[in-house]
Amino acid sequence: MPPTRFPADKGLSARMAFTVFAMGLLFVAFIAALWALRVPIALVVIIAVVVVGAQYWFADRIAMFSMGARLVTPEQAPELHAVVDRLCALANLPKPKVAVADSDIPNAFATGRSQRAAVVAVTTGLLRRLDNAEVEAVLAHELSHVAHRDVAVMTAASILGILAGLLTRFAFYAGFFGGFGGRDNRDQEANGLAFLAILAVSALVYTISFLLTRALSRYRELAADRGAAIVTGAPATLASALVKVSGEMGRIPTQDLRAAEHMNALFFAPALAPGLSLSSLFSTHPSLERRLDQLSRLQNQMGRRG
Amino acid sequence: MKILDTLFGRTKAAPADLDRLFALPGAAVNLDVALGLGFANRAGVCVKPAGNEPFEEALNEAIELAKLDHLDNRIVDDRYGYRWAIFSGAGLEDLVTAVHGVNSTLADRALGNQLLCSAFAFTSPKRTLPVLLVYLYKRGTFYPFAPVGGEKRDTETELSIRAAVGVDLPVEAELERWFPLWDNPLMS
């Protein structure tokens, strides 16, 4: 990313640094606790590293498969490629692969293990709902994720949670099948307690690391919004795209009634009560208001600089 | 009854409340005042042809019964395989009665399953394409549809329409069911 004319957002950087620090602290405390309980860490760590490594290496294929996205060539989607080309020139990034997912839900994502092996994807629902400037703003947001190496950062951050989760599972099964044996009552009791302790610690670590990972993810989203605003120079366009996609408008379908008629016949599922939503602690994205807030602050800063 | 239906896998057709159609003239006043949208003297019923004699008979009879002497009507088959009975040349009260007539005749003949929706066209001088108020037969609710050409829709206007008529009409609460009707015979 080119050096920016705008002052750094100290608050956002501070929050991110604190989150990463807290996770590091947690990691150290976790290893210490495991050592105190005399658990063979080596095996668990090896398994976790292999799993996370595979997930990281194949990040782009996994994401594309789960979203149903197909790669598109410049001949198949000339306008989309043109927008990506312009943005990469502006942001000084190597050009990622471009993919399109056939879905009416407006969405976009970026994935890939490095800047050189990255993929940026949009759904057809997004292309139908937004005009060209807004599509450009959304793609700039996704390219910011690539530029900030968010896949690597979030994968590293999730290692702790995966480790704790694995250990929880091992402790549970080990305790169930073997840990409650022992030659006499006192051994039995000590073994049982030890495994219960491992279970409790792992579960606690997993919960805390989950919440911290989610918080970090929300901060990275805000940073990507900021990156997009700076690269395009138009925070208001990204704001309008976000409103169209995540607000009420994003829920209005673009598929014809007559094509969707088979769905209309079945009314057995009650809709979720309005207002029911995931707790903000669990959310991977910051709330729409918060994102619009940041974007309008950037808009004001740009206005002042002329 | 609902639990038994779930256990035995029975799907019950939702009871239609066709009388809600008669709330339209009142709502149309609000549309005019709030958004400058006037009724375009065009309305239609969209059905899925059942491909058999009884259905054709019933549909023709329904249209005959429904139309008054001074109503124009035409039948159009669209590219999705659905059939539209379009009524025009009269005011909103008359067309509401006609549409209601077609719907209830088919429902009385146990052909309610073939009914998809009814739609009423509104225009304003600023707009090139009319805005439709669509009545979903199976849900008994209305929703607006404001196309702007090229398979794009004007959702801001649609949400404004919801605000304008939401008090008088039962507007479909789930936005996910506001399906568009691209390229339908009421557009012209």
pLDDT of residue B146: 93
* A211 vs B25 pLDDT, higher one: B25
The Cα A90–Cα A142 span in angstroms is 14
Query: How many other CB atoms sit within 10 Å of the CB of residue A198?
Result: 23
Span B37-53, average pLDDT: 89
A128 touches chain B (CB under 8 A): yes
Question: Which residues make beta-bridge pairs with A100?
Answer: A70, A122
- A251 — contact with chain B (CB < 8 Å)? yes
Which pTM does this prediction carry? 0.65
Considering only the beta carbons, identify the residue of A253, A258, A259 that sits closest to B176.
A253
What residues contact B102, with CB distance under 8 A and at least 6 apart? Answer: B45, B62, B63, B66, B85, B118
Tell which residue, A164, A171, A150, A170, has the closest CA to residue A209: A164
Active site residues of A: 142
Q: Which residues contact B11 (CB under 8 A, 6 or more apart)?
A: A265, A266, A268, B5
Contact A261 B48 (CB under 8 A): yes
- Locus of tokens 């057809």: A124
Residue of A256, A264, A266 with shortest CB distance to B80 = A256
Which residues are CB-contacts of A73 (< 8 A; sequence separation ≥ 6)? A81
State pLDDT tens for residues B143-179.
999 999 888 888 888 888 888 888 889 998 888 888 9
A268 touches chain B (CB under 8 A): yes
Q: What is the pLDDT of residues A197-247, one digit of tens each?
A: 777 877 788 788 888 888 888 899 999 999 999 999 888 889 888 888 876
In the block, residue with structure tokens 């605000």: B163
The alpha-carbon gap from A102 to the nearest alpha carbon of chain B, in Å, equals 16
Rg over CA atoms, chain B: 17
Q: What is the mean pLDDT of residues B21-38?
A: 92
Query: How far lies A261's CA from each of A5, A254, B114, B187, in Å?
Result: 53, 13, 11, 20
Average pLDDT over residues B66-88: 85
Out of A253, A265, A267, the one facing B178 most closely (by C-beta) is: A253
d(CA A267, nearest CA chain B) in Å: 8
Does the pLDDT of residue A38 top 50, yes or no?
yes
Query: CA A135, CA A64: separation in Å to the nearest integer?
Result: 19
Size of interface A-B (CB pairs under 8 A): 64
Greater confidence, B57 or B3?
B57
Percentage of chain B beyond pLDDT 90 is 35
Report the percentage of chain A scoring pLDDT > 90.
16
- Dump pLDDT digits (tens) for A87-132: 998 888 899 999 999 888 888 888 888 888 899 999 998 998 888 8
Instruction: Write out the two tokens for A164.
Output: 């704790």
Q: Which residue type occupies A206?
A: Y
Contact A174, A195 (CB under 8 A): yes
B158 vs A: CB within 8 A: yes
Q: What is the complex's ipTM, to 2 decimals? A: 0.72
Beta bridge partners of B135: B118, B142
Buried b (16+ CB within 10 A) or exposed e, A52-80: beeebeebbeebbeebebeebeeeebeeb
Paired tokens of A279: 């707790």
Q: What whole-number distance in Å separates Cα of residue A65 and Cα of residue A218?
A: 24
Contact A139, A108 (CB under 8 A): yes
Mean pLDDT (chain A, rounded): 77
Instruction: Note whether A247 contacts B: Cβ–Cβ < 8 A.
Output: no
Find chain A residues with C-beta within 8 A of B155's C-beta: 244, 249, 252
The C-alpha atoms of residue A79 and residue A100 are separated, in whole angstroms, by 13
* More reliable by pLDDT, A156 or A190: A156
The mean pLDDT of chain B is 86
Beta strands per DSSP E along chain A: 69-71, 97-101, 108-112, 118-123
pLDDT in tens, A164-196: 777 777 766 666 555 545 555 666 666 677 767
pLDDT given at position A281 = 60
Judged by a CB distance cut-off of 8 A, whether residue A271 touches chain B is yes
Please give the DSSP secondary-structure letter assigned to residue A275. T
